[in-house]
Amino acid sequence: MNYSVKLSSITPSATSTLNTLTKELIKEGKSIINLSIGEPDFETPDYIKEAAKKAIDEGITRYTENQGFFQLRKSISDKLKRDNHMAYSPYEIVVSNGAKHSLYNIFQALLNPGDEVIIQSPYWVSYPEMIKLAAGNPVIIKTNTINQFKMKPEQIREVITPKTKIILLNSPSNPTGSVYSKEELMEIGNIAIKHDLYIVSDEIYEKLIFDDKHTSIASLSNELFNRTITVNGVSKAYAMTGWRIGYIATTRDLANTITSFQSHSTSNPSSISQMAAIAALEGPESSVIQMKERYKKRRDLMCELINDIMDTRLCVPKGAFYIFPDISGWLKPLGKQSCVEVAQWLLEECGVAAIPGAAFGSPGYIRFSFATSEENIQRAFASIKEKIEKNNRKRSCRSIDPY
């Protein structure tokens, strides 16, 4: 059978694949501590669930505007004003089936064959694939623990060509938790203005920042507002990954184009989820704050435990719920060739699921998620430490001169 050529360049999402494998092992009865998770472990808050139940009871179960309910777009417009100091009208907002779908729509709407999109590695696994699906070319700028996983302006300038169309930003970042400051965003914004580029700003982890403040690049000037497409959603902040509500804020013209594109693919997102999203955005923020406090405690715990293990270089994440340590120092002592082999060793020997950095374009690292209980984090790192110590004992026995 011949499949579409377009799909031949696409690699399956490594994070989903590992998650599926881990779930299978758990189903088989193996005791696995899952630190590969990319979603909150908390329940969706009750007031949001109630809004969804009410929507069903009131018969809000039909097609909605393709762009999303006006009432939801009004709530989003109010949120963007309140939290991000950005004045978007409801007509400049498009609601989609999760922020992933929003991003997919953007690349389909903006890219022509061969257009280049600047992204940094480590990157969220879906960015390069979505860009390729829109016939674009991802141009990857490498970052690491030394530069706090942030692109330097000179690195961006170096890769700009006549084909460059978009700079993609993700702050706070998955998988590193790095957060760009206002000044850093301004510098990147000035490059975009000078070279007449779009900025796509994925702010899905905005509410999960522990030490810094979130800045939306579109809020920094009128020029940046006009060339930035802001992406956000309710998945991570309100523990609503399964509800599938994401959105973009952009010019009315691009919003109309994307709505038209969406109308021929998925139409509107679920009417019930939209009503739940209104409740999330208009409701009290106390549950978001509580979840954030819990994540912060877990982050601190995980950092402390990782620092106790072998030669690990670590950049303390300022946001999101992932830690992305440089584990290249683990390879030799464990007798492994790559971070993929280390991830396999973690799964099989330690019973801990984590994602190899190669999946995010950064071999030599590993992503641990702290969207799990403190008890699980304790158990996972106790097991890793024990297996490493056992391994070290074996190595030192082997190196003793038998004579």
Ligand X SMILES: Cc1ncc(COP(=O)(O)O)c(C=O)c1O
Which residue in the set 130, 151, 204, 346 belongs to the binding site for ligand X (CB under 6 A)? 204
Would you state the structure tokens that stand for residue 112, as one six-digit string? 């022509």
Residue holding tokens 């969804």?
Answer: 52
Evaluate whether 299 touches 314 at the Cβ level (below 8 Å): no
| Shortest Å distance, C-beta 246 to ligand X | 4
Residue 99, interface with ligand X (CB under 6 A)?
yes
What gap in Å lies between CA 64 and CA 366, rounded to an integer?
42
Sort 297 into a burial class: Cβ within 10 Å, 0-12 / 13-18 / 19+.
middle
Q: Identify which of residues 228 and 305 has a Cβ nearer to ligand X in the complex.
A: 228
Strand partners, 368: 323
Local structure of 93: helix, strand or coil: strand
Q: Give the one residue of 19, 33, 38, 262 binding ligand X; rule: CB under 6 A.
A: 38
Q: Does 246 bind ligand X (CB under 6 A)?
A: yes
Residue from 394, 286, 294, 391 nearest 45 by CA? 286
In which element (H, E) is residue 165 found?
Answer: strand 164-170
Cα dist from 146 to 150, 157, 275, 325, 348, whole Å: 9, 20, 44, 12, 31
C-beta nearest to ligand X: residue? 98
Q: Is 367 in the site for ligand X (CB under 6 A)?
A: no
- Which listed range, 92-100, 107-115, 161-169, 216-224, lies at the site for ligand X (CB under 6 A)? 92-100
Which residue, chain included where needed, has tokens 């998955």? 174
275 or 388: whose CB is closer to ligand X? 275
Task: Please tell me whether residue 233 binds ligand X under the rule CB under 6 A.
Answer: yes
Q: Which of residues 37, 76, 92, 100 is near ligand X by CB under 6 A?
A: 100
Q: How far is the CB of 174 from ligand X (least distance, A)?
A: 4
202 binds ligand X (CB under 6 A): yes
Binding part of the chain for ligand X, among 94-102, 214-222, 278-286, 299-307 by CB under 6 A, reads 94-102
> Which of the ranges 41-49, 96-104, 270-278, 328-336 carries the binding residues for ligand X, by CB under 6 A?
96-104
Residues 49-88 that bind ligand X (CB under 6 A): none
Is 116 a binding residue for ligand X by CB under 6 A? The answer is: no
Contact 395, 333 (CB under 8 A): yes
Convert residues 140-179 into a mask of x (bound to ligand X by CB under 6 A) and - (unbound): ------------------------------x---x-----
Cα–Cα dist 162/179, whole Å: 29
Task: Give the whole-angstrom CA distance, residue 61 versus residue 272.
Answer: 7
With CA atoms as reference, report the closest residue to 303 among 368, 361, 244, 365: 368
Total site size for ligand X, rule CB under 6 A: 13
Q: Which residues bind ligand X (CB under 6 A)?
A: 38, 98-100, 124, 170, 174, 202, 204, 233, 235, 241, 246
